Amino acid sequence: MQRLLVLVRHGQSEWNLKNLFTGWKDPALTEVGVEEAHAAGRMLRAKGISFDRGYSSNLARARDTLKIILAEMGQPDIPALASEALNERDYGELTGLNKDDARRKWGDAQVKLWRRSYDVRPPNGESLKDTVARALPFYCGEILPRLLRGECILIVAHGNSLRALLIVLDRMTPQSIAETELATGIVLLYRLREDSTIEAKEVLKS
């Protein structure tokens, strides 16, 4: 029984490069982001992993990263599903703003509160708690049953939608998740026990 879950944050996007709040906007991958996706695929291929199914958010930077990874692994035709449940946080009125400009306008403390608190929303946007409320039911209803049947699953998503899953997988608190950063292209491997708890975790580095 595999029960292997792999989480990957999408490669660098054009708005990551420009240091902009991205949220549900849909910029493309940069050349660096494309290479990060290829590198993730190479690392997973080197581990000898064979996926049964892939998932991504409904945003191009995640969908394209998933496609590149699977092509790099020689598995371009496995079933893959894109879902808004795995989308990045909606940053509301911050979307499209440069993060340094936002700090100058509202101050470091306020911007950090919007970015890293668990339940404080940016203006007309989502908190991490809101993101958990849509990502976790999708994981529990769609993905976890497949894992417990022994499937090997790949999820490509975003910093905050993946942090939402880490709260459960790594048993993190709202306080500890605030200090957790996920770099673009990062690869996290989880092997689950039959009761859904984590038997082993590995971070792959190129």
User: Tens digits of per-residue pLDDT, 152-205?
Assistant: 999 999 999 999 999 999 999 988 998 899 999 999 999 999 999 999 999 998
Average pLDDT, the chain: 96
Look at residue 100 and tell me whether its pLDDT is greater than 80.
yes
Domain ranges of the chain: 4-204
Under the banding of pLDDT at 50, 70 and 90, the label for residue 2 is: confident
Q: How far is CA 164 from CA 87, 161, 203, in A?
A: 11, 5, 17
pLDDT tens-digit map of 47-77: 999 999 999 999 999 999 999 999 999 999 9
Interval 27-55: pLDDT, tens: 999 999 999 999 999 999 999 999 999 99
Domain 4-204, CATH 3.40.50.300 — does that match? no
Residues annotated as part of the active site: 10, 88
DSSP labels for 106-120?
Answer: H-HHHHHHHHH-SSP
What does the pLDDT look like over 6-21, one tens digit per residue?
A: 999 999 999 999 999 9
pLDDT of 1 > 80? The answer is no
**Residue of 25, 35, 55 lying closest to 142 (CA atoms):** 55
Secondary structure (H, E, C), 27-43? CCECHHHHHHHHHHHHH
**pLDDT of res. 179:** 87
For 80-99, how does the pLDDT look when each residue is reduced to its tens digit (9 = 90+)?
A: 999 999 999 999 999 999 99
The whole-number pLDDT of residue 30 equals 98
CA pair distance 162, 179, nearest whole angstrom: 14
Residue 159 carries which side chain, given as an amino acid letter? G
DSSP for residue 139: I
* pLDDT of amino acid 61: 98
* pLDDT at site 184: 97
Instruction: Quote the CA–CA distance of 94 and 91 in Å, as a whole number.
Output: 5
Q: Which residues contact 189 (CB under 8 A, 6 or more apart)?
A: 4, 5, 6, 47, 200, 201, 202, 203, 204
